Amino acid sequence: MTATLTSAAEVVTFRVGDQWFGVDVMDVQEVIGQLQIALVPLAAPGIAGFLNLRGQIVTAIDVHQWLDISRRTPEPSMNVVVRDGDELFALVVDEVGDVAAVSPGTMDPAPASLAGAWAHVCTGVVRMDQGLLAIVDVTRLLNEPNTRP
Amino acid sequence: MDDLLKDFLAESTENLAQLDQDVVELERDPSNASLLNSIFRAIHTIKGTCGFLALPRLETVSHTAESVLERLRKGDLKAEPDVISDILRAVDVIKTILSELAANQAEPAGDDSLLIALLEQWLGPDAPRRAIAIGPEAIASAALEFGMSPDASSAMPGSSGDQASAAPSSIRVNVKLLDALMNLAGELVLSRNQLLEMSSRNEDSPFATPVQQLSRITAELQGAVMKTRMQPVGSAWSKLPRIVRDIARETGKKIELDMKGAATELDRQLVQALQDPLTHMVRNSADHGIESPDVRRASGKAAVGRITLNAYHEAGHVIVEVTDDGKGIDAGQVRRTAIERGLVSKEAVHAMSDCQVLRLVFEPGFSTAASVTHISGRGVGMDVVRSNIERVGGAVDLQSVGGQGCTIRVRLPLTLAIVSSLIISARGETFAFPQASVLELIRLSDDQLGRSDVLHDVRLFRLRDDLVPVVRLGDALGLPANESGAVATLVICQAGAAHFGIIVDDVVDTQEIVVKPVGRLIRAVGCYAGCTILGDGRVVMIVDPAALAVRAGIQINAVAKVAAPALTPATRPPDSLLLFGVGENAVQAVPLSSVARLEEIPSDRIEYAGGRPVVQYRGFLLPLVPASPAVTFTSGRSNAVIVFNEGSASFGIAVSEIRDIVDEIVNLELASTRPGVLGTAVIAGAATEVLDVSYYMERARRGSVS
CA distance B54 to B168: 28
Mutation pick from B423, B473, B541 vs chain A, by most beta carbons of A within 10 Å, is B541
Residue B527 in any domain: the answer is yes
In 3D space, the residue among A143, A144, A124 whose CA is nearest the CA of residue A134 turns out to be A124
Query: Which of B222, B425, B518, B539 is the mutation pick for testing A, counting most A CBs within 10 A?
Result: B539
Buried b (16+ CB within 10 A) or exposed e, B215-254: beebeebbeebbeebbbbbbbbbbbbbbbbbbbbeeeebe
Nearest chain B CA: its distance from A116 CA (Å): 19
Same domain, B275 and B398: yes
Q: Is A8 an 8 Å CB contact of chain B? A: no
Judged against a pLDDT cut of 60, whether residue B136 lies above it is answered with no
B222 and B315 part of one domain: no
**What type of residue sits at position B280?**
H
Question: Within 13 Å, how many C-alpha atoms sit on residue B555's CB side?
Answer: 15
Asked if the C-beta of B548 comes within 8 angstroms of chain A's C-beta atoms, the answer is no
Q: Within this chain, do residues B576 and B506 fall inside the same structural domain, yes or no? A: no
Residue-wise pLDDT tens digits, A105-132: 888 887 777 777 777 888 888 888 878 8
Scored b (16 or more CB within 10 A) or e, B188-207 reads: bbbebbbbbeebeeeeeeee
CA end-to-end span of chain A: 19
Residue A4 forms part of a structural domain? no
For residue B243, the domain's CATH number is 3.30.565.10
The 10 Å Cβ neighbour count of residue B213 is 10
What is the total count of domains within chain B?
A: 5
Nearest CA-CA distance, residue B185 and chain A, Å: 10
Which residues are within 8 A (CB) of B124 and not within 5 positions of it... i.e. 6 or more apart?
B131
The residue-averaged pLDDT of B189-194 equals: 76
* B521–A41 CB contact, under 8 Å: no
CB atoms within 10 A of CB B551: 16
Look at residue B316 and tell me whether its pLDDT is greater than 80: no
* CB burial readout B489-518, b (16+ within 10 A) else e: bbbbbbbbbbbbbbbbbbbeeebebbbbeb
CATH number of the CATH domain containing A24: 2.40.50.180
Q: Which residues of chain B lie closer than 8 angstroms to A143, CB-CB?
A: none
**Shortest CA gap B136–chain A (Å):** 55
Query: Which strands sit side by side in the sheet containing A28-32, from one edge to the other?
Result: A28-32, A78-84, A87-93, A56-62, A47-53, A37-38
Out of B190, B527, B533, closest to residue A42 by CB: B527
B238 is a domain residue: yes
Q: How far is it between the farthest Cα atoms of chain B? A: 111
Per the structure, the complete domain to which residue A13 belongs is given by 9-143
Task: Decide if A86 touches B, using CB distance below 8 A.
Answer: no
- Check if B537 contacts A (Cβ < 8 Å): yes
Q: Do A38 and B478 touch (CB under 8 A)?
A: no
Q: What is the 3-state secondary structure (H, E, C) of B333-376?
A: HHHHHHHHCCCCCHHHHHHCCHHHHHHHHHCCCCCCCCCCCCCC
All residues of chain A having their beta carbon less than 8 Å from the beta carbon of residue B538 are 36, 38, 52
H-helix or E-strand spanning residue B467: strand B466-472
Q: What percent of chain B has pLDDT over 90?
A: 3
Whether B637 has a pLDDT exceeding 70, the answer reads yes
Q: How far is it, in rounded angstroms, from Cα B247 to Cα B239?
A: 13
Taking CB atoms and an 8 Å cutoff, what residues of chain B touch A51? 539
Residue B374 — pLDDT band, cuts 50, 70, 90?
A: very low
Closest-CA residue in chain A for B184? A55
Which H helix or E strand runs over B698? helix B693-705
Query: What is d(CA B151, CA B172) in angstroms, rounded to the nearest whole number?
Result: 26
The reply to whether A44 touches chain B by the CB within 8 Å rule is: yes
Q: Do A43 and B525 touch (CB under 8 A)?
A: yes
Domain at B611, CATH number: 2.40.50.180
DSSP state of A69: -
Residue type, B48: G
Contact between B285 and B277 (Cβ < 8 Å):
no
User: Are the CB atoms for B640 and B656 separated by under 8 Å?
Assistant: yes
| Closest chain A CA to residue B551 | A42
A66 vs B: CB within 8 A:
no
For the cut 80, the answer to whether the pLDDT of residue B382 exceeds it is: no
pLDDT tens per residue across span B277-313: 888 888 888 888 888 888 888 888 888 889 999 998 8
Interchain proximity B478–A44, CB inside 8 Å: no
Q: Which of A36, A54, A57 lies at the smallest CB-CB distance from B516?
A: A57
- Segment B249-270, tens digit of pLDDT: 888 888 888 888 888 888 888 8
Please state the φ and ψ torsions of residue B361, each to the nearest 5 degrees.
-65, -15
Mean pLDDT, residues B646-650 taken together: 73
| Most B-contacting residue of A36, A42, A140, A141 (CB-CB within 10 A), to test interface | A42
Region for B496 from its dihedrals, namely left if φ exceeds 0, alpha if ψ lies in -120 to 50, beta otherwise: left
Distance of residue B423 Cα from the nearest chain A Cα, in angstroms: 15
Q: Report yes or no on A2 lying in a domain.
A: no
Tell me: the pLDDT tens digits for B326-368?
888 877 877 887 787 777 777 777 777 777 778 777 776 666 5
- Cα distances (Å, whole numbers) of residue A24 to A3, A53, B286, B287: 12, 21, 60, 61
Residue with more model confidence, A116 or A138: A138
Residue of A nearest to B539 (CA): A38
- Residue B59 CB neighbour total at 10 angstroms: 18
Measured from the Cβ of residue A100, the count of other Cβ atoms closer than 10 Å reads 18
Pairwise CA distance, residues B569 & A18, whole Å: 72
Q: How many CB atoms lie within 10 A of CB B285?
A: 29
Residue B342 lies in a domain: no
**B460 close to B454: Cβ distance less than 8 angstroms:** yes
Q: B500, B490 in Cβ contact below 8 A?
A: no
* Residue A57 contacts B where some CB pair is shorter than 8 Å: yes
Which of A40, A81, A84, A140 is the mutation pick for testing B, counting most B CBs within 10 A?
Answer: A40
Residues contacting residue B273 through CB under 8 Å, at least 6 positions apart: B388, B389, B391, B392, B394
Encode burial over A103-129: b for 16+ CB neighbours within 10 A, e otherwise. Answer: eeeebeebeeeeeebbebbbbbbbebe
> Confidence class of residue B315 from pLDDT cuts 50, 70 and 90?
low
**Among the ranges A35-49, B187-201, B349-363, which has the highest mean pLDDT value?**
A35-49
Instruction: Please tell me whether residues B256 and B380 are part of one structural domain.
Output: yes
Task: Tell me whether B479 touches chain A (CB under 8 Å).
Answer: yes
* Residue B236 and residue B222 in one domain: no
- The SS3 assignment for B106 reads coil
Q: Name the residue among A58, A62, A29 with its Cα closest to residue A48.
A: A62
**Is B302 at the interface with chain A, CB within 8 A?**
no
Q: What is the mean pLDDT of residues B662-671?
A: 74
Query: Rounded to an integer, what distance in angstroms lies between the CA atom of residue B491 and that of residue B355?
Result: 27
CB proximity A93 to B under 8 Å: no
Q: Is B30 domain-assigned?
A: yes
- Does B191 touch chain A if contact means CB atoms closer than 8 Å? yes
DSSP structure string for B599-657: EEEEGGGEEEETTEEEEEETTEEEEEEESSTT----TTSEEEEEEEEETTEEEEEEESE
Q: What is the pLDDT of residues B507-539, one digit of tens each?
A: 988 877 877 778 888 877 878 888 888 877 788
How far is A38 from chain B, CA to nearest CA, in Å?
Answer: 6
| β partners of residue B401 | B405
Mean pLDDT across chain B, nearest whole number? 77
Angle at B206 between CA B201 and CA B207, to 5 degrees: 65
Better-predicted residue by pLDDT, B327 or A28: A28
* Within a domain: B166: no
**Cross-chain residue pair B519–A52, CB shorter than 8 Å:** no
For chain A, the domain total comes to 1
Q: Are residues B263 and B409 in the same domain?
A: yes
Interface contact B525-A59, CB threshold 8 A: no
With beta carbons under 8 A apart, name residues in chain B contacting A145: none
Categorize the per-residue pLDDT at A27 as very low, low, confident or very high, splitting at 50, 70 and 90.
Answer: very high
Residue B360 included in any domain: no
List pLDDT tens digits, range A79-92: 999 998 878 999 99
How far, CA to CA in Å, does B154 sit from each of B13, B20, B159, B255? 11, 12, 11, 22
Residue A149: inside a domain: no
pLDDT of residue B140: 46
What residue ranges in chain A does DSSP mark as E strands? 9-16, 19-24, 28-32, 37-38, 47-53, 56-62, 78-84, 87-93, 95-102, 107-108, 122-128, 131-136
Q: Does a structural domain hold residue A148?
A: no
Contact A52 B479 (CB under 8 A): no
Query: In terms of Cα–Cα distance, which of B336, B397, B409, B411 is closest to B362?
Result: B397
pLDDT exceeds cutoff 70 at A137: yes
Q: Do B431 and B402 fall into the same domain? A: no
Q: What is the mean pLDDT of residues B459-471?
A: 80
Q: How near does any CA of chain A get to the CA of B644, in Å?
A: 45
Between A and B, how many residue pairs show a Cβ–Cβ distance under 8 A?
64
Same domain? B549 vs B690: no
Q: Is A93 helix (H, G, I), strand (E, B) or coil?
A: strand
Contacts of B188 in chain A (CB under 8 A): 55
The CATH number assigned to the domain holding B83 equals 1.20.120.160
B696: nearest Cα among B661, B644, B632 = B644
Do A41 and B524 count as a contact with CB atoms less than 8 A apart? no
pLDDT value at position A30? 92
Pick from B192, B482, B520 the residue to mutate for testing the A interface (most A CBs within 10 Å): B520
ipTM here: 0.84
B520, B538, B541 ranked by CB distance to A40: nearest: B541
Q: Which residues of B touch A41 (CB under 8 A)?
A: 429, 477-479, 541
What gap in Å lies between CA A55 and CA B641, rounded to an integer? 64
Residue B239 sits in which domain range? 232-329+368-413
Contact A87 B519 (CB under 8 A): yes
Q: Quote the minimal CA–CA distance from A103 to chain B in Å.
A: 32
Residues 6+ apart with CB under 8 A from B532: B421, B432, B513, B514, B515, B516, B539, B540, B542
B520/A49 touch (CB, cutoff 8 Å), yes or no: no
pLDDT (average), residues B312-331 = 82
Query: Using one digit for the tens of pLDDT, what is the confidence trace for B403-422?
Result: 788 888 888 877 666 677 89
Q: Which residues contact B458 (CB under 8 A, 6 or more apart)?
A: B469, B471, B553, B554, B673
Distance separating alpha carbons of residues B163 and B182, to the nearest angstrom: 22
Does residue B539 belong to the interface with chain A, where contact is any CB pair within 8 Å?
A: yes
Angle formed at CA B277 by CA B559 and CA B499, multiple of 5 degrees: 30
Q: Range with the lowest mean pLDDT among B142-156, B346-360, B468-482, B600-614?
A: B142-156
3-state secondary structure of B478: coil
Q: For B370-465, where are the alpha helices, taking DSSP H only?
A: 382-391, 446-451
